Each structure stands twice: as structure tokens, then as C-alpha cells.
Amino acid sequence: METITPTNMYALRNTNLRSIPQCVQDIISTMQLAPVSQIFKKKLLPNKPARPDRGNWRHAAFVQLKATVLKKDDPDYETVVGLTNKVSVSTVSSVAKSISDTITRREDDDIFRLRVVNLLFSRGVSMQFFSKLMANLFELIHVSHPQVKEDLQTSCSSTTFNEMFDMSTTVVYPSLDDPKYDDKLCEWMKKREIRKGFGMFATELHLRGLVDEQTIMTAIKSSLSEIDESIRLPNDKIVIECVDQLATLMFETYKVLLSRFGKTHAICKLISTKTVEICASDKTGTPCLSMRSRFKLGDISKL
């Protein structure tokens, strides 16, 4: 058999070809002829989260990022996690520069920056001994990335805080005969420490000018109103525990602001005035104001 080559095929150009069968011609004649547009293959772009365009996009993003704090699915984010684990008083400047440089490399990715802010904010709230250090870290990062201040404004809002740290539900102190006493006790302590840590950390950020006074004032007014309304509800363990946690938050916030600004500061005056009114309330009309909460609120005026 002769091998078919390009030369042989070209030589067949003048050969008489067999005609197309009539049945095939009939099929072709029924087909509609139309011009075919050229198709270009779309270039695939990196899978980067999109920034929402409407509403409070930061709040929505923080809620979505809630479950990604511990995930290391991004090399740059993994680098930031490693740097955060190494931060100390002596290394805070170098760590801040490295984190800032990483954010700069991803300057078009707002979601990445929010993810970093979320990580550092979670550390500052959940680890009270890290409050000042994390606040100092944010202060240094803010120099290169002013958007961080707006990110923190959203993080410190009551709505975002409650959703990020699951504070919408209150855990009461468990009874000794509860079969899950140990687990519930740990959860109870965790909730108390988170609320206390939030008050301390948000105040430290405010002291550094990273959170506006109005943001803190709004959160404080909301908490004081919640205390005033809750203490008048029918006796309930969950409500009593919620009031106690809010009382601790007011005490810690007042103590930090007092040491820096004195009693004339607007937030200090608000907390002091309102807590005195609450403590002066008739005990019979405030069944959910425990003695523990009453003493905690009363101590504010003694500072």
C-alpha cells in the first residue's frame, strides 16, 4: 500500500471525485445557513471575593469571614497568622511593617484586608492581655492603610460584635447537678470574658484615635438602655446574667477611660450618671438587677 504523503494528497486535487449522494444533498438543502461569529476563549481570572456594592458591605463581609479566622487557605493570610503569633512588645514594629507590606501587595483586595483586620480584632477581644499590644499593632498598620480605621468602626459596632462573637444568646451559670456542668461553665466564662475583652479593646482603640467617640458612645448608650430595660423584666436567670455581663462591660470601659481622660469625658459622664440612676432604682421594681450587678455598677461612682 502506498503511503499517503502531503505530496500525494496535493496531486489528487485534479482527480474526479464521487458525487454526494442525493439523500445527503436533501439534508443539506433543508439546513439554514447563517454566518458563524468567531468565538474567543474567555481569560480566567483569579477567584477573588467580590466587594459588595450596596449597604454596609463591611458588616456583611465580616459576618461572612467569621468562619475563616483559623483557615489557612491563602499563603498571604497564612503569613499574617504566623506574624501575629510572634508579635510582642519588642517585635510589634517589625510585625506591623510585614503585615502592612502584605496588605499592600493585595491592595486591590478589600476582603483580604478585612480578613486580616478580623484576625487581629478577634485576638484583641478574646485575649485581654493582648488588648494594648493589638491596639498598638493596629495603630502602626493604620499609618500605611488608613482604611483600617473604617474597618474597625464597623467591627466595634454592637451589631457586628454580637454576630461575630455569638453574643445574641446568653449562657446562664449552670447548676452543680447539671450533667454538662463543666462544658456549660466553660461557655459561661467564655461569654463573660469576651464581653469584658470587647469593652477593653474597643476602648484601647478609641484612645489611639482608631475608633471615633461617637461609635463608642452609640455602643455604650445601647448597652445602658438594655440594662435599664432588662432589670425591670420578670425574674429570669438568663436576663440576670445578661445584665451582669453588661455591668462588667460598663465598669471596665469606665475604668480605662477614667485613667486617660478623667471624669469630665463625655462617655465617662454618661456611664456615671446612668449607673447612679440605675442603682437608685427600687429593688422591688428591678427583679433582674442582682446584688452582684448592683455592686458592680455602684463601684463605678467610687472610682
Question: How confident is the model over 187-245, as pLDDT tens digits?
Answer: 877 777 787 788 788 888 988 999 988 888 888 888 898 899 889 988 888 888 888 98
Q: 75-83, long-range: CB within 8 Å, 24+ apart, which pairs?
A: 76/102, 76/105, 76/106, 76/112, 77/112, 77/115, 77/116, 77/119, 80/116, 80/119, 81/119
The answer to whether residues 230 and 280 touch, using CB atoms and an 8 Å cutoff, is: no
Confidence (pLDDT) at 33: 57
- Nearest partner of 246 among 132, 138, 162, 141, judged by Cα: 162
pLDDT attached to residue 41: 52
pLDDT over threshold 60, residue 1: no
Decide if pLDDT at 63 tops 80.
no
Whether residue 255 contacts residue 128, with contact meaning beta carbons closer than 8 Å, is answered with no
More confident residue, 206 or 53: 206
Q: What is the rounded distance in angstroms from the CA atom of residue 201 to the CA atom of residue 126?
A: 9
Residue 157 corresponds to which cell in the numbers above? Answer: 459596632
Among residues 151, 175, 138, the alpha carbon closest in space to that of 51 is found at 151
Residue 13: which pLDDT band, with cuts at 50, 70 and 90?
low
pLDDT digits (tens, 9 = 90+) for 119-163: 999 999 888 778 889 999 999 999 999 999 999 998 888 788 878
Q: Residue 137: what pLDDT?
A: 95
Crossing angle of helices 57-65 and 147-155, rounded to 10°:
70
What average pLDDT does the segment 276-294 reach? 93
Q: Are 172 and 238 in contact (CB under 8 A)?
A: yes
Percentage of the residues of the chain whose pLDDT score is greater than 70: 86
CB neighbour list of residue 151: distance below 8 Å, 6 or more residues apart: 58, 113, 114, 117
Burial (Cβ within 10 Å: 0-12, 13-18, ≥19) of residue 240: buried
Model confidence at 17, pLDDT cuts 50, 70, 90, reads low
Query: What is the rounded distance in angstroms from the CA atom of residue 220 to the CA atom of residue 88?
Result: 30
Average of pLDDT values for 41-66? 61
Burial letters for 5-36: b for 16+ Cβ neighbours within 10 Å, e otherwise? eeeeeeeeeeeeeeeeeeeeeeeeeeeeeeee
Question: 54 pLDDT band (50/70/90 cuts)?
Answer: very low
What's the pLDDT at 53?
A: 42
What gap in Å lies between CA 82 and CA 218, rounded to an integer? 35
Q: How many Cβ atoms sit within 10 Å of the Cβ of residue 252?
A: 19
Would you state the pLDDT for residue 51? 46
Instruction: Taking residues 34-54, report their average pLDDT.
Output: 49
Region 93-98: mean pLDDT is 95
**What's the length of the chain?**
303
3-state DSSP assignment of residue 170: coil
Q: What is the pTM of this model?
A: 0.66
Vertex 25: Cα angle to 22 and 29 (nearest 5):
140
Phi-psi bin for 20: left (phi > 0), alpha (psi -120 to 50), beta? Answer: beta
Closest CA to 303 of 275, 263, 244, 267: 263
Instruction: Give the pLDDT confidence score for residue 52 in this predicted structure.
Output: 43
Residue ranges per structural domain of the chain: 56-168
Q: Read off the pLDDT of each residue in 51-56 and give the average, rounded to a whole number.
A: 49
Looking at residue 56, its pLDDT comes to: 75
So what's the pLDDT on residue 44? 45
Q: Which three cell numbers stand for residue 201?
A: 479593646
Cβ pair 88, 94 in contact under 8 A: no
pLDDT at 38: 55
**Average confidence (pLDDT) over 37-45:** 50
- Inform me whether the pLDDT recorded for 20 exceeds 80: no
